Structure 1
Amino acid sequence: MSHLMNEDLARAQMAARLGEAQQLRVAGNLARARRLSRKAERAAQQARLALARAL
């Protein structure tokens, strides 16, 4: 059950970072947006790994 909570947390963090990245792109801050996007990609990868380990 805890792996589901970890997955939900990773998804929430990823969604928040993607939202921040989108807002920053609109504001023209592309360098920070790219960093946040990479963090979101890493969070998604970690969530997939955690799910794979749990199965």
Structure 2
Amino acid sequence: MTQTSERSTTMSNLLAEDLARAHLAARLQQAESQRRGHQLAAARRLSRKAERAAAQARLALARVI
């Protein structure tokens, strides 16, 4: 009987560890996905800012000519 309960406890512990690893992997994946999303949004903002600066430079050049 003791051996059976030890096996049951060991299996429960292993299942809990596997579940914890799965949760950790899922949270890491979610964090990485959010990081990529933030990087993409920042890149888009910088791109729009650069486009506006280029347009202003073209207008300034046109005024000079």
TM-score by length of 2: 0.43
Q: Helix, strand or coil for the counterpart of 2:43?
A: helix
What letter corresponds to residue 23 of structure 1 in structure 2?
R
Q: Helix, strand or coil for the counterpart of 2:42?
A: helix
Tell me, which stretches of 5 or more residues in structure 1 are unaligned? 30-55
- Count of residue correspondences: 29
Tell me, which stretches of 5 or more residues in structure 2 are unaligned? 1-29, 59-65
Say whether 1:28 aligns with 2:35. Answer: no
Larger Rg: 2
Identity of aligned residues (%): 7
TM-score by length of 1: 0.51
RMSD between aligned alpha carbons? Answer: 1.4
